[in-house]
A and B are shown apart, each in its own frame.
Chain A
């Protein structure tokens, strides 16, 4: 089942922070985050495995709450280059299942 992302869209000014959430009704094994800029291929950001691990990638970090079956992506001090659509992909059960992506969150950073 497709995970639910919120918000669907957000507009930020440079330097502002944002949080993108990804929730699933299934027990999750892992959560994957990708960013797709307009007209380009999705690009990998990070993978989080069950266990509540938090990961970081420059000023972009994420957490994974196994009990709540949700993950959050944190973007701090946003830059114009952060604009794009962010997708979470979830892997359920014990792994080895297809990665199911949410519908995406469109992030626009303006000067």
Chain B
């Protein structure tokens, strides 16, 4: 069974631009969560989707948005990029809507210059 796939693996953008990250969950998983990881801060929760509905949202500005499609694939978008948005963005999938075992992707490393 294929794992969680995130694309692209690396991204370099400049301030003010926008970016879209993609996540394909494990086949059969209907829940997708997104986390931002920066050195020393651990994993900061961004949002969680289940069956195309956003169930929870973290304390991030409105520049961060996401969505989930009917095939459970998910995208997150960051508009008007700032230097502080540089981070590893991790996507995790699970079978159901509750906090079960999460399967993480390798992440997208975003660098904002």
Q: Report which A residues bind B (CB closer than 8 A).
A: 2, 30, 32, 34, 40-44, 47, 87, 89, 91, 95-104
Chain A proximity of B89: nearest CB distance (Å): 12
B90 at the A interface (CB under 8 A) = yes
Q: Which residue of A lies closest to B104 (CB)?
A: A41
Query: In the complex, are the beta carbons of A44 and B102 less than 8 A apart?
Result: yes
- Chain A nearest CB: distance from B40 CB in Å? 6
Contacts of A102 in B (CB 8 A): 42
- The smallest beta-carbon distance between B38 and chain A, in angstroms, is 10
Complex Cα spacing A103 to B42, Å = 4
Q: Which of A34, A40, A44 contacts B106 (CB 8 A)?
A: A40
Tally chain B residues at the interface, Cβ within 8 Å.
25
- Within 37-53 of B, Cβ neighbours of A (below 8 Å) are at 40-45, 48
Cross-chain pairs A/B with CB under 8 angstroms, 5 sampled? A41-B105, A41-B107, A89-B43, A95-B98, A99-B45
B58, B90, B99, B100: most-surrounded residue (chain A CB, <10 A): B99
Q: How far is the CB of A84 from chain B (nearest CB, A)?
A: 13
Residues of A within 8 A of B92 (CB): 42
Q: In the bound complex, do residue B106 and residue A41 qualify as a contact, i.e. CB atoms below 8 Å apart? A: yes
Name the residue among A2, A41, A42, A43 with the largest chain B CB count within 10 angstroms.
A41
- Cα separation A89 to B107 with both chains bound (whole Å): 18
State whether the Cβ of B68 lies closer than 8 Å to any Cβ in chain A: no
The smallest C-beta distance from A103 to any residue of chain B, in angstroms, reads 4
In the complex, what residues of B have CB within 8 A of residue A96's CB?
A: 97-99
Distance, CA A34 to CA B44, complexed state (A): 14
Which chain A residue shows the least CB distance to B42? A103
Min CB distance B108 to A, Å, is 12
Known pairs A41-B106, A42-B90; A100 contacts B45 (CB<8 A):
yes
Q: How far is the CA of A103 from the CA of B36 in the complex (A)?
A: 12
Residues of B within 8 A of A43 (CB): 104
Which residues of A sit under 8 angstroms from B56, Cβ to Cβ?
A: 97-98
